[in-house]
Chain A
């Protein structure tokens, strides 16, 4: 009720599909496994520059104790789309989404969200350049501190594999926490929490302690909590990996309906091809800390180019 209906994701597909046909380079299926440095030169079919991005990552690198987890990863996610990031464990996908969701700082590179952190327009700026994603002079959100950083975080909701609900709080109190932190008046918090719990189908379990909900219910509460501050982007780190297949499908469908209702952009890290197939519009394959292939889901499924994508599709068919 607070957000305009977003355009359907199908509209997102066409420019991507078009871009993919211009790629002439193809890998040989019998090519030996290549060094990670070669994987970076893999064809990237997604060229969302013509579509409006909601999230932009530029040259993200991150190392833990000398071990390079991400190297020079760049990514744009089209506004209103559901973008999957898929890779094997240890590929760096969780680190990438934690950096994108402002939970962790990169060693280098920048993260930008649409409409956040842009400095005010100067006299010589062209009108319409308020979007930091289209400007070169904007520093990444990780350079923000204090109140500004909290404001940027309010543009991002995050859900986790292990739900991470606060056991000391009821379902409703979990959803209320980000609103308390944002300084909402009590009465408005109550109304907003009731609205969100109804949207995720848990209006009748508002007072239940968080620990006494089922896995699927916990993730629904976590989604309501993540969306409480009306973020523009929802990050999901393996949100369905701890759930059974039936609950997984229900939660994925809920994420899609939340995207439609609130006009969200969704970024999902997963190791399950089923997740990508069921709700993603576009997908990035990540291996060895780099994105090795990306494109519209329909395109990648029809015509995978990288070894990584082929391997995932092979496994998917065998399941």
Chain B
């Protein structure tokens, strides 16, 4: 058992690195994309321009397509892209690329729906305060949607933890890889148990932290 725990260190670090890095990238890119999707579909921000309508439709198609790929296939498909971005198609750093690509459309949808749920009366009020569109989005809409955004981010991180278990396929390591290579292929039930329990604990921790932060924000209002 102590041997199993000793084996845990490196995969755990790899998993955490993959989740944190891809969450950060997805938050930046997916968050921006989500704001854009919201703005494109909202008359107040995009007007009724034909260009906005077309851009929104194209973005919708692209996002739906990306989201419908089974992750294991997506991972293999973006191998050339990983090689281009991080210089290699193998290892933990390379695994961050498909994880981010999977999380970006997911988070974009979460941000879009969180912003769309905001009472349009608040946008009216912000407009009547003579605020610019950018200010309305960043000073009003995002703070108003913050609890929903935190919940969405929690959901994204937990999904990423699940996806990262497949990173072993491209040599990315991580807890899933540990469970397969030691637990399954070498019949090490103790390693399997340690890996799975660690994943469960990580999910619980992420969920607890996310719920706690969202609750704190709601309670302060």
- Chain A residues packing against B (C-beta within 8 Å): 98, 101-103, 150-151, 153-154, 156-158, 160, 162, 164-169, 177-178, 180-182, 209-212, 222, 225-226, 228-229
CB distance A180 to B139 under 8 Å?
Answer: yes
Task: Given the known inter-chain contacts A168-B146, A209-B220, A209-B221, please indicate yes or no for A181 contacting B132, CB distance below 8 A.
Answer: yes
Which residues on the A side are within 8 Å of B125 (C-beta)?
Answer: 158, 160, 164-166, 222, 225
CB distance A164 to B132 under 8 Å?
Answer: no
Q: Give Cα A165–Cα B129 distance, bound, in whole angstroms.
A: 11
Q: Give Cα A177–Cα B128 distance, bound, in whole angstroms.
A: 11
Q: Does any Cβ of A come within 8 Å of B196's Cβ?
A: no
Q: Does any Cβ of A come within 8 Å of B122's Cβ?
A: yes
- Chain B at the A interface: SS class: helix
CB distance A177 to B221 under 8 Å?
Answer: no
Q: Give Cα A160–Cα B125 distance, bound, in whole angstroms.
A: 8
Q: Give Cα A211–Cα B221 distance, bound, in whole angstroms.
A: 6
Report which of A166, A169, A181 forms a contact with B130, defined as CB distance below 8 A.
Answer: A181
Which residues on the A side are within 8 Å of B140 (C-beta)?
Answer: 166, 168, 177
Which residues on the A side are within 8 Å of B221 (C-beta)?
Answer: 167-168, 209-212
Which residues on the B side are within 8 Å of A226 (C-beta)?
Answer: 128
Shortest Cβ distance from residue A205 to the other chain B in the assembled complex, whole angstroms: 15
26 A-B contacts (beta carbon < 8 Å): A154-B130, A156-B128, A160-B121, A160-B124, A160-B125, A162-B121, A164-B121, A164-B124, A164-B125, A166-B125, A166-B126, A166-B140, A167-B144, A167-B221, A168-B143, A178-B129, A180-B131, A180-B139, A181-B132, A181-B135, A209-B221, A222-B125, A225-B125, A226-B128, A228-B129, A229-B130
Report which of A156, A158, A167, A212 forms a contact with B124, defined as CB distance below 8 A.
Answer: A158
The proximity string for B residues 57-86 relative to A, scoring 1 for CB distances below 8 Å and 0 otherwise, is: 000000000000000000000000000000
CB distance B130 to A178 under 8 Å?
Answer: yes
Shortest Cβ distance from residue B11 to the other chain A in the assembled complex, whole angstroms: 40
Q: Give Cα A50–Cα B179 distance, bound, in whole angstroms.
A: 87
- Chain A at the B interface: SS class: mixed
Q: Does any Cβ of A come within 8 Å of B3's Cβ?
A: no
Task: Given the known inter-chain contacts A158-B124, A177-B139, please indicate yes or no for A166 contacting B144, CB distance below 8 A.
Answer: yes
Q: Give Cα A98–Cα B122 distance, bound, in whole angstroms.
A: 14
CB distance A150 to B130 under 8 Å?
Answer: yes
Q: Give Cα A113–Cα B211 distance, bound, in whole angstroms.
A: 49
Q: Does any Cβ of A come within 8 Å of B51's Cβ?
A: no
Which residues on the B side are within 8 Å of A157 (C-beta)?
Answer: 128
Q: Does any Cβ of A come within 8 Å of B117's Cβ?
A: no
Q: Does any Cβ of A come within 8 Å of B197's Cβ?
A: no
Which residues on the B side are within 8 Å of A164 (C-beta)?
Answer: 119, 121-122, 124-125
Q: Does any Cβ of A come within 8 Å of B127's Cβ?
A: yes
Considering only residues 127-165 of chain B, those with a C-beta below 8 Å from chain A are 127-132, 135, 139-140, 143-144, 146
Which residues on the B side are within 8 Å of A178 (C-beta)?
Answer: 129-131
Q: Give Cα A161–Cα B135 distance, bound, in whole angstroms.
A: 24
The proximity string for B residues 97-133 relative to A, scoring 1 for CB distances below 8 Å and 0 otherwise, is: 0000000000000000000000101101111111110
Known: A156-B128, A162-B119, A162-B121; 15 extra A-B contacts, CB below 8 A, are: A158-B124, A160-B121, A160-B125, A164-B119, A164-B122, A166-B144, A177-B126, A177-B131, A177-B139, A180-B135, A182-B130, A212-B221, A222-B125, A229-B129, A229-B130
Shortest Cβ distance from residue A173 to the other chain B in the assembled complex, whole angstroms: 10
Q: With CB as the reference atom, state the residue of chain B lying closest to A98.
A: B124
Which residues on the B side are within 8 Å of A98 (C-beta)?
Answer: 124
Q: Give Cα A157–Cα B127 distance, bound, in whole angstroms.
A: 10
Which residues on the B side are within 8 Å of A211 (C-beta)?
Answer: 221
CB distance B129 to A225 under 8 Å?
Answer: yes
Task: Given the known inter-chain contacts A177-B139, A177-B140, A209-B221, please indicate yes or no for A166 contacting B122, CB distance below 8 A.
Answer: yes
